[in-house]
Structure 1
């Protein structure tokens, strides 16, 4: 059962890294490595290819991105574990090449364009009171960088690392491979500096949302695991604004109107001592329609994923997964985005030492 347990955690992390293919929330800020047994180092890479088109000749409005993550977890004592997790929690890849949002305001970019990336380093420790109860807490450093083009012009901006916190608790029943873990992630405010239209120095800020992550798993039959997650992120009221250095008109580049809640549910099955398989379902409800920015051409999603895990040796495990995402419809001004989708896949290497 413990090998199936590890499969469930691995594939849950893979699923959440690709399920939000249509939004800015990407990695899910999950801290699953802290629950691994012993000492483990992991590396994963994926690719998400959205196919998003709209009415009035609006095509190719979302581009491929490739999430990467790394973690190392160390058991200090029988009761204390620590982990470092590196990921890309938030991002946006939007580019309108034709249609209503393709007019060029200035420079080389289309009128609707976003290439925004983030980097985060999470430091987390866990203390086990006994076999059933544990608490975990830590700190997260996060930076943002990117380019946005809209009717207001072009913004090139970046930030230094800013800090946030996380805290949570877990209940486990090892005899049935059950675990329920709840984690609170604080908001992180990044101060931005950059250029507006390649000429005007600007400063601003963006505050990523506070969130609550619930993850669970339990054995439901011999060599069979049920697992899932719920993530609620408080996006409502968040914005990205800049003001010229020395004073001037403040520009609001992006508004977020709604909080988001995403769900994942999966079943993993151990086939033999080396191979395990799993299937996952994902869902995020649609928020406000119509949207208020062409940089958000989708709204919610439904997904299904298939995954496999293979124990190459007692120390080395390879996991992989493929996910199909049905992206929710959205409308922005005169343009309607319907019947869009994305394909995501990923691979993870885990080495125990």
Structure 2
């Protein structure tokens, strides 16, 4: 069984174009397959994800901080679709400079998020009566407050500069710097987040009373605090990658392993903090005149390893497998002022309940690393048409999981097709269906415990990809 080099290259190019959906913030899968193409090569692609992620509040849901209260009117109510559709792009250029030296540029958007809870979700009735008065009436739900809803948006871009050395026809040793930008916004609204979501619950005698948070800290006029907001301006930093590839073109065999380093960012986060006359006497960080220490926030995007293998199994047919590990268990975001308030909240909670102080909590964190896999078959039907079929699995990054991304891994099936109008060019399209793993979502203050706010079951997503390629 022998395959001509160009035929095997056509099959390689017809492998899945994108991960589209994965655990935590993982999106593109960070493939370097374009760099391992023979000769000179260019490609550009787009991927689109349309997900449906809905759920319901747990049957005994109460506002965070008011677990002993009688405010249970939202328990068991439905939560609408909170996943927004989004798209991202990728492009790559590979040049074989000499027989033994190659260079590549790969652009992708490796990590991202785009979600917002539905403003049509049911609101509290009991709380509404207590949240009126001088500040006016503002309806509050578990993840909503007034005309605002909990939302998150994260965008990253990466440009990898790869230098390869091929000592023989079979081996390729490569490495290079990676330039990365990151930016994002997050807003927490609703009673699920307690004071951070704009709702304060305190024990008064034998009962717990819940009321809405007061002013944004530093405001000169009386305003209603509807929830914590953070905006991360675009920041850039540099990491690196390195890898090794082995191939036998005659039988379409190729194996590679690629390591990508973590990348450290120091960012200034614009944060909206609350103060409360009621809570200020108990939590110093919620006093009107409290001065937060000003400092940058450290954000480190995770290290990862990709393993890729493919081999011819019969004439014009290859089998492939792709494995990916991402170190999400070490990923944490704790904005500077958020962290100071979190320390105050946990210190108060520890004092009231006679437990050890957990010294704050992170805005976003994950319990486990992500492991994902894709396996499938690609076949060349003739000189112009080729196709693939594939099955995928993703472990997720722990369960319970953040309310900002309430899914726990997936199973997927996909189909891809490729049309080559000339021997040097192709157009590729693919579709994947994702069966998303059931998840229990928890707010940041409950991370590391079994406490959760809502359950998300029987959700799914569809991903679409299109790519063009040219050999020169």
2:425 is matched with: 316
1:10 is matched with: 13
Q: Deviations over 1:197-250 (max 9, x none)?
A: 2999763121111111100110000000011210011110311111149x9546
2:117 is matched with: 96
Q: CA deviation at 1:104?
A: 2.8
CA contact under 8 A between 2:334 and 2:363: conserved in structure 1?
yes
CA contact under 8 A between 1:263 and 1:283: conserved in structure 2?
yes
TM-score (norm: length of structure 1) = 0.92
Q: CA deviation at 1:4?
A: 4.9
Matched, 1:228 2:321: yes
CA contact under 8 A between 2:269 and 2:336: conserved in structure 1?
no
CA contact under 8 A between 1:238 and 1:257: conserved in structure 2?
no
Q: CA deviation at 1:126?
A: 1.1
Q: Distance in 2 between matches of 1:47 and 1:248?
A: 38
1:277 is matched with: 387
- Structure with greater Cα Rg: 2
Q: Distance in 1 between matches of 2:173 and 2:16?
A: 20
Counterparts of residues 1-353 of structure 1 (less than 5 Å): 1=3, 2-16=5-19, 18-20=20-22, 23-55=24-56, 56-97=77-118, 98=121, 101-104=142-145, 109-111=148-150, 113-150=151-188, 151=193, 152=196, 153-197=228-272, 203-244=296-337, 249=341, 252-291=362-401, 293-332=402-441, 333-353=452-472
Q: CA deviation at 1:177?
A: 0.8
CA contact under 8 A between 1:58 and 1:101: conserved in structure 2?
no
CA contact under 8 A between 2:40 and 2:96: conserved in structure 1?
yes
CA, structure 1 residues 23+14, in 2 after alignment: closer, same or farther (shift >3 Å)? farther
Give the SS at the match of 1:67: strand
TM-score (norm: length of structure 2) = 0.70
Q: Distance in 2 between matches of 1:30 and 1:244?
A: 36
The count of corresponding residues between Structure 1 and Structure 2 is 346
CA, structure 1 residues 198+49, in 2 after alignment: closer, same or farther (shift >3 Å)? farther
Q: Distance in 2 between matches of 1:248 and 1:143?
A: 26
Q: Distance in 2 between matches of 1:209 and 1:269?
A: 35
CA contact under 8 A between 1:7 and 1:268: conserved in structure 2?
no
What do you get for the CA RMSD once the two structures are aligned? 2.2
